[in-house]
Amino acid sequence: MSDSAPKPRPQFRNISPVDLMNYRLPMAGKVSILHRVSGALLFLCLPLLIALFAMSFVSEAGFASMSAVVGNPIVKLILLVLIWGYLHHFCAGIRYLVLDLHIGMDKESAAKSASLVLGVSLALTAVFGLKLFGVW
């Protein structure tokens, strides 16, 4: 006869919003979520970018009107967010291609590469933002 007691079953509890606020993702998780958000942002704003691009090629008057639209500070902020989205999506995509080659799969390397992606994308966004707002 066996004296072993049955193993207790794991308990799965519902997560409340308070628990979600206390949960901390690793840097790789944050970069992954931002990669998805930036991809969705770029996809949803594609008609706006195509319209601005088409407006600039119609005629000289179209280019002047597009320049006037882009000259608005609110539109510049929207473009800066789109620039960040593109740069972050590009840098994170390169990171995922390297991970597909099974390079940097351990926990420390993944955290370093995720931090590098976030830092590079923000630094490049700052450079493009300075150019966009006319500092250079």
46 and 97 inside one domain: no
pLDDT at residue 133 in the model:
93
pLDDT surpassing 90 at residue 60:
yes
| Average of per-residue pLDDT across 35-63 | 93
**CA gap 110, 123 in Å, rounded:** 20
| Average of per-residue pLDDT across 27-55 | 94
* Burial readout 19-41 (b: 16 or more C-beta within 10 A, e: otherwise): eeeeeeeebbeebbebbeebbeb
Element (H, E) at 113: helix 107-132
108 and 129 inside one domain: yes
| Average of per-residue pLDDT across 86-111 | 96
Structure token digits, residue 90:
């590009």
pLDDT tens, 113-132? 999 999 999 999 999 999 99
Rounded to whole angstroms, what are the CA distances from 52 to 70, 79, 89, 101, 133? Answer: 9, 11, 21, 38, 18
pLDDT at residue 3 in the model:
65
Residue 34 forms part of a structural domain: no
Question: Pick from 70, 85, 109: which residue ends a domain?
Answer: 70
What contacts 130, CB < 8 A, 6 or more positions away?
A: 136
Give the residue numbers spanning the domain of 76: 72-136
Number of domains into which the chain is organized: 2
81 and 130 inside one domain: yes
Q: Which of 82, 96, 97, 103 is nearest to 40 (CA)?
A: 82
Q: What is the pTM of this model?
A: 0.81
Structure token digits, residue 40:
């969705």
Residue 28 forms part of a structural domain: no
82 and 57 inside one domain: no
Contact 88, 124 (CB under 8 A): no
The separation between the first and the last C-alpha atoms of the chain, rounded to the nearest angstrom, is: 83
